Amino acid sequence: MAIRYLLDEHLSPIYRSQLVRRNPEVVVRIIGDLDVLPKGTPDPEILIWCKTNGFILVTNNRKSMLGHFADHLALGRHIPGIFTIDANQSIGKTVEELIIIAEASFEDEYQDRIEYLPLSR
């Protein structure tokens, strides 16, 4: 299975449209989509959904997500990964990096990891 992204509900839908435009094979869902979780779902439930469905979470939540991630792992759970974006980086640069990651990474390369984008600083 290829890398799949779940976008946090607080990210602009432009991220999905640009990701799919740049690579139509990339699977991208947004919290609030009919086949995903409803908007307002608590972060711990989002992490469980990502594990169950094989999605890497893409979020701009740099404050509380690290704690939820640590709690999630402490309970013996796993997650395909979390990418936390830099709000000061342009959408285009973030999309470009997500495309490169999707095209060049192994399926479980980010398993149980939280990464801050951009990866190259």
Residue 116 phi, psi (nearest 5) = -105, 125
Helices and strands of the chain, counted as H and E runs = 4, 5
pLDDT at res. 107: 83
Domain limits, the chain: 4-116
Rounded to two decimals, what is the model's pTM? Answer: 0.95
Residue 1 has pLDDT above 80, yes or no: no
Dmax over CA atoms of the chain, in Å, equals: 38
According to CATH, what is the number of the domain 4-116? Answer: 3.40.50
Residue 6 has pLDDT above 60, yes or no: yes
The residues, any chain, with a CB within 8 Å of residue 53's CB and separated by 6 or more, are 4, 6
Lowest mean pLDDT among 21-35, 50-64, 89-103, 107-121: 107-121
